[in-house]
Every structure is written in structure tokens, then in C-alpha cells.
Structure 1
Amino acid sequence: MGVSPIMRPVVCDQSCSAPRQERKMDYVLTEHARDALKKRHIQIAWMERALTRPEVTETDPVDADLEHRLARIPEFGHRVLRVIVNTRRTPPHIVTVFFDRRRTIP
């Protein structure tokens, strides 16, 4: 499986607990995640929002190394974006990303 290292600046906003400043978020996109972003027309900024400021975090029911990070995306009709991350890897590896039709966040 191919991976592509990505390092992007992330700007904190009012919902961020850290003071407003620019910081780096290191992560690796797997080939599958890269393909999913393109095929599903998901913007990197949306994925990074769910990755860095999830509204809900869930453990994977099958693989303890994986974490599901969910966030509503206002620019896409408030649909819930699910980003599945292998948090045991350094930097974290994004396994896949998709809009979860079955999930809502109150």
C-alpha cells in the first residue's frame, strides 16, 4: 500500500482550544484515502477539520489501532464527514474518509 506524507499548516479558530496561531499537522494519506478524497470530491480542508477538531471520536469496533473522527461540514449541507485514522503510526495515517449517510451529530 502506497503512502504519501502530507504536512499542512492548520490555522486554529475560535473552536480550537489553543490560542489563534498557525501550527503544523503531520499525517500520511494512504493511497486509498487519497483516491477516496478525489473520487468523493472531499476537500483536504474538510478532512483536516475533522482530523484536528472532531465533534465526535469513536474507537473502531474491530481494530484498536484505528480511530474514527467525525465532524459536520456546513459547506456540504452539514453532512457528517468520517475520517478513519491509524493513531498508532507516527505520523498518523489516514486510512479512509467519507460522508457517513447513517450518522448524525445532534
Structure 2
Amino acid sequence: MMSRRRLPTAKGLMTKLEAVLFFRFCIPRNDKNRRLRGISPMANPLNGYVLSIHAQEVLQRSERQTIEPEWIQRALDNPDYSDWDDRTNAVRVWKRIPEYGDRALRVVYNPDKQPPVIVTVFFDRSFKG
């Protein structure tokens, strides 16, 4: 008889079946009963927007820790330039930040999700507008 091997997980030791059941039923889901991918369940809302896991990781990097949440909100509320990406259905907005040497902050978000998801945030060196 084969013994049940226990897998180390964040919840302690589990059998493979227990792990599959946990991850299948304990992951946040949207209204269509599909798993929400790329969105942290504890993501901080930014005036109706949610940061994706990627955006949170980008903002944690040492060279990007200077990006203030108020700058992101300013770019979303009143962008200097905006563009729609047909391939990904994402909106890209740019806003010049005078406090940071008048560099252009680029915010990419998906308006189709509810709440809208901020995909990434960075200072765009190639912005000429």
C-alpha cells in the first residue's frame, strides 16, 4: 500500500488532494466564478483602483520606491496624454511630475475589470509629449 505523501505549504503539511482543494476553493473569485489572476486579495485600493501583484512588486523595488501614490492618482485623474492599447484593452496614461524633475509617469490600467486594475507604473524615459 502506498503511503500518502504530505506536501509542505503555507497552511502546513497537506496531501496533494488537500492542496488542490484548498487552492481551488480558497482563491478569490470574481462574479463569473473564475479565479482572479494577478490581483492580490489584499491589494490596496487607490480611489477605486486596485494595484495588480505586478504593480505592487514594481513599486516595492528600490529604484521605484520614490513613486508616490498621489502621483499615480494625479496621472489617473488628469493625464497629460492617454492612449488605448487595442491588443491588451489597456489604457496608458502619462503625467509630468514636477516634483521629480518633470519626468513623465506612465500608468497602465485595465478599465474592463471591476474595480479597474493598475497593471504597472513607471517613469517613461521615451515619452516626448
Q: Which structure: greater strand fraction?
A: 1
Structure number with larger C-alpha Rg: 2
1:75 aligns with 2:99: yes
Aligned to 2:115: 91
Aligned length: 87
Aligned to 2:70: 45
Secondary structure at the aligned position of 1:50 is classed as helix
- Aligned partner letter, 1:58: D
Aligned to 1:14: none
Unaligned 5+ segments in structure 2 are: 1-37
Unaligned 5+ segments in structure 1 are: 8-24
- Whether the 8 Å contact between 1:83 and 1:98 is mirrored in structure 2 is yes
Greater RCO, 1 or 2 (C-alpha within 8 Å, sep 6+): 1
Q: Which structure: greater helix fraction?
A: 2
Aligned to 1:35: 57
TM-score (norm 2): 0.62
CA RMSD of aligned residues (A): 1.4
Structure 1 window deviating more from structure 2 (96-105 vs 32-41): it is 32-41
In 1, Cα distance between equivalents of 2:59 and 2:75: 13
Moved over 2 A (4+): none
1:6 aligns with 2:30: no
